[in-house]
Structure 1
Amino acid sequence: MFTIYNFIIQIISVLIIPLALISKKIKKGVVGREKTFEFLKSCIEPKDQIFWFHCASLGEYEQGLPVFKFFKKKYPKVKIVLSFFSPSGYEVKKDNYLTPLTVYLPLDTKKNAINFIKILNPKMVVFVKYDLWPNYLKILNNCDAKVFLISALFTPNHYFFKWYGKLLSKVLLSFDQIFTQDEDSKKLLKSLGISKVSVCGDTRYDRVLKQLEKKVNFESIEKFIDKKTCLIAGSTWQQDHELLIQYINKNPNKIKLIIAPHEINYKEIIKLKNKFKNTAELYSNFDNKYVHQKETLVVDCIGILKQLYKYANIAYVGGGMGNNGLHNSLEPAVYGIPIIIGKNYKKFPEAVDMISNGGMKSVRNYKEFQNCLNYFIDNKKIRQECGNKNKEFIEANKGATQIISKKIEEFLKN
């Protein structure tokens, strides 16, 4: 199976070059990966002790960050290498306070894996969730590094549990310990003969609770809302936009909308703004003097969404109307507000739980979205009840960071 896998990776490494000519996102990844080895060689000396943290993208970074912070503080002399696979993670977090050694992870060829791990010679390695690369894990299995997987989440649909992936699943034995989010993931791993597993929960709950400690205020946002009911729609895609545009254009002056698209592309942002009937403005163009006269604010920058949610009376989290994947619904939940999402959410345990608890509502089409939003707008008491359920849910699930960090530390001491 490894032979077939390596053959596929080699094909991908060839095909990705012409694809980079037509996709800016792919091009960023290709160009970035070409610089990884040279950059690391210039920054790492043989005497350095290295902790390597790997994340697929921005979501996994946010998930792993509470644990990363713990070890940065605990071991200040250790150099941290942070790697991303996706440009949407690297481009946002290449300049971070955690480490200057932030890189793209080279493609998972055997040669790349050997070279990368030889340069780092890491003392500890942490992977987040399920971005697992067989060649890297196979090479790590022959090293002295302590290797961990945190906030792991598996379903029967993961390729490790399919007939064609069971042989590759043996690389999971490379981990000294796997920390899963739920009991179901542990049971699935047990079916593969993986026994070094602990159920510790999701570190994102600890991460979003930290948001409450940040006292960031946006005067222009306060003036824009002007004490009216405000819906903040975060990490939205085209299918989400269709609902929001239709509602605002059919219901003028009923609600203030702040919309933060998942992808910031200037041409697409302008198109989106223009679909709102002369009621929208870009965040970057806001004039505080006239800001209250607008009905819709389109956020055309990154990095502020999680702070903006505190101004919302209602949140809409994007990704669930299509197949892009539901985005982080814990970020608005921590502020004690009700949440609306699309129809595709079953792969996200936190969404399933919040819907079950009554703090989140799922909609399948515009009619359901309209009815749900109107219900929240017209019933302040219901908004507060649903929001409180979400806040209590966050509080009830905190603590994974401390459990995981202490257990990893025990391994490092042995």
Structure 2
Amino acid sequence: MRTIYSALFLLLTPFFVVRLCWRSRKLPAYRHRIAERFAVVPTPPKSQPCIWVHAASVGEFIAFKPIVDEMLSWGSHAVYITTMTPTGSARVVETYGERVGHSYVPYDIGFLISKFLHRVQPTLAIFVETELWPNTLYHCKKQGVITLLANGRLSEKSLRGYRRLSWLSRPMIASLSCSAIQYEADAQRFKTLGLNPETCLVSGSIKFDIELNMHTIESAKFLYSQIQQGLPRKIFVAGSTHKGEEEIILSAYRQIKMSFPSCLLIMVPRHPDRFSEVAALCESWGYKLARRSDQQAPVMETDVLLADTMGELLMLYGCSHVAFVGGSLIDRGGHNYLEAAAWGLPIISGPSTFNFAAISDMLEQANAMFIADSDKLIAAEVLKLFSNEELAKRKGLAGAKIVKQNRGAKAKLILLIKGLLNLQ
């Protein structure tokens, strides 16, 4: 049956390339380095054994970065990181430069994966969260590469999709050498798909091991002081927003400004190819806009600060009073709530949280996060928090406590990786 999948994938490959070119209209990086998607990739030095880490997007890379830092500190293995998106790729290059090998991951076609593995020659392949591909896992096993699913998660929605293709997904998941799954509920879902319970560790989520370094803290303080300009000004940040969400946030913001006219909205679109689109949308509402990429501080007359830069979301949460986390007013399952919680911010989310179900449940039960499905509810919650600083502080501290109480997955995962590499 995998042969049928491979044939279909091969037939559809021209359409995938056309799609990359289409997406490059807004983000030109999509049409660059297309050869890497056909396994024409840099060859890492052969002086050390290699660990291959696949983090599909920038979110997975950010979550796994502390583990990569630890692996590099060992000095025993080279690290090669693949991503699928230009934003993820840019973050890898910005973070590590030539300290790691890097390319886009090849399409999941047998001979391409075989060629990629021959060039990179990994000893261990680590797949972050749910980024699993049938031919990739098959050829890793065939070539004797140890495979690890790290920080694995599987929502009920994804489980239904895997079950519909069980003829393909079961052999793939069963072939994993080892797995570190976030929560017991995720582990049970994976086990129904053939995951070996004897090689499955329930580790918790490495997202709880988020680190606020001094540079991020100082950058947040500096921007906050620029925004305040010596006067008290409320700041509402909308992080990782998608198409269809910005309109709702802008409508809520209009209601908020009726009571807090000096309030600043920081809008952080999830995808860089939408920066100009969101800028035009904000201006169409009549708001005075400042763009972060212009490197100019917002003035008191600025209504919206558009974060049209990469890698600043965590810092921007740190200079705000209330956070909305996007991907939740549409059917995307939410984004990383812990980036806001780590700062002690009260959080607002839409109802779609399935990608962070366990985390969102913890935050809701601790009264650290409020679920709102409309502009009116979002505005009402922001106004309540702006008007009651003690309430906002309690909610924020509750979220920060959840983060602190659930740390430790990083240490478990590092021990597991060392064991797989016989480094203990």
Is the TM value for this pair above 0.5?
yes
Quote the Cα distance in structure 2 between the aligned partners of 1:12 and 1:27.
Answer: 22
Match of 1:84 in 2: 83
Q: 8 Å contact 1:283–1:299 — kept in the other structure?
A: yes
Quote the Cα distance in structure 2 between the aligned partners of 1:369 and 1:337.
Answer: 15
Q: Given the alignment, which residue of 303, 311, 314 partners 2:319?
A: 311
**Superposed displacement of residue 163, structure 1:** 4.1
Match of 2:245 in 1: 240
Quote the Cα distance in structure 2 between the aligned partners of 1:178 and 1:389.
Answer: 31
Give the structure-1-normalised TM-score: 0.91
- Specify whether residues 407 and 312 from structure 1 end up closer, same or farther in structure 2 by C-alpha distance, changes over 3 A only: same
Q: What are the Cα deviations for residues 217-266 of structure 1, in whole angstroms up to 9, with x where unaligned?
A: 25344222343221111111233211222233342515222111112345
Q: What are the Cα deviations for residues 77-117 of structure 1, in whole angstroms up to 9, with x where unaligned?
A: 42211001233322333333273411000100000111011
Match of 2:236 in 1: 231
Match of 1:262 in 2: 270
Match of 1:373 in 2: 382
The percent of aligned pairs where both chains have the same amino acid is 19
Quote the Cα distance in structure 1 between the aligned partners of 2:325 and 2:85.
Answer: 21
Q: Secondary structure at the match of 2:237?
A: strand
Match of 1:157 in 2: 157
- Specify whether residues 297 and 83 from structure 1 end up closer, same or farther in structure 2 by C-alpha distance, changes over 3 A only: same
Matched, 1:279 2:288: yes
**Superposed displacement of residue 275, structure 1:** 3.0
Query: What is the root-mean-square deviation of aligned Cα atoms in Å?
Result: 2.4
Quote the Cα distance in structure 2 between the aligned partners of 1:284 and 1:95.
Answer: 17
**Superposed displacement of residue 311, structure 1:** 1.2
Q: Secondary structure at the match of 2:106?
A: coil
Q: Secondary structure at the match of 2:377?
A: helix
**Superposed displacement of residue 345, structure 1:** 1.2
Match of 1:205 in 2: 208
Quote the Cα distance in structure 1 between the aligned partners of 2:305 and 2:217.
Answer: 22
Quote the Cα distance in structure 1 between the aligned partners of 2:184 and 2:122.
Answer: 30
Matched, 1:15 2:15: yes
- Specify whether residues 27 and 284 from structure 1 end up closer, same or farther in structure 2 by C-alpha distance, changes over 3 A only: closer
Match of 1:54 in 2: 54
Give the stretch that moved more between structures: 48-57 or 187-196: 187-196
Q: What are the Cα deviations for residues 335-354 of structure 1, in whole angstroms up to 9, with x where unaligned?
A: 11100111211341211221
Q: Given the alignment, which residue of 332, 354, 367 partners 1:324?
A: 332
Match of 1:352 in 2: 361
Q: Secondary structure at the match of 2:345?
A: coil
- Specify whether residues 111 and 403 from structure 1 end up closer, same or farther in structure 2 by C-alpha distance, changes over 3 A only: same
Give the stretch that moved more between structures: 341-350 or 166-175: 166-175
Q: 8 Å contact 1:147–1:177 — kept in the other structure?
A: yes
Q: Secondary structure at the match of 1:260?
A: strand
Quote the Cα distance in structure 2 between the aligned partners of 1:95 and 1:8.
Answer: 36
Give the structure-2-normalised TM-score: 0.89
Match of 1:138 in 2: 138
- Specify whether residues 87 and 12 from structure 1 end up closer, same or farther in structure 2 by C-alpha distance, changes over 3 A only: farther
Structure 2 unaligned residues grouped into runs of 5+: none
Quote the Cα distance in structure 1 between the aligned partners of 2:156 and 2:282.
Answer: 41
Quote the Cα distance in structure 2 between the aligned partners of 1:340 and 1:157.
Answer: 23
Quote the Cα distance in structure 1 between the aligned partners of 2:185 and 2:195.
Answer: 15
- Specify whether residues 391 and 81 from structure 1 end up closer, same or farther in structure 2 by C-alpha distance, changes over 3 A only: same
Q: 8 Å contact 2:50–2:122 — kept in the other structure?
A: yes
Q: 8 Å contact 1:152–1:180 — kept in the other structure?
A: yes
Matched, 1:336 2:337: no
Q: What are the Cα deviations for residues 352-389 of structure 1, in whole angstroms up to 9, with x where unaligned?
A: 22112210011111221121111111111110110011
- Specify whether residues 11 and 58 from structure 1 end up closer, same or farther in structure 2 by C-alpha distance, changes over 3 A only: same
Give the stretch that moved more between structures: 106-115 or 17-26: 17-26
Q: What are the Cα deviations for residues 250-305 of structure 1, in whole angstroms up to 9, with x where unaligned?
A: 425152221111123453143033134343322234655x7233232112211111
1:42-191 matches, cutoff 5 A = 43-45=44-46, 47-74=47-74, 76-97=75-96, 99-158=99-158, 161-191=162-192
Q: Secondary structure at the match of 2:290?
A: strand
Q: Secondary structure at the match of 1:97?
A: helix
Structure 1 unaligned residues grouped into runs of 5+: none
Give the stretch that moved more between structures: 247-256 or 21-30: 21-30
Q: Secondary structure at the match of 2:236?
A: strand
Quote the Cα distance in structure 2 between the aligned partners of 1:216 and 1:92.
Answer: 21
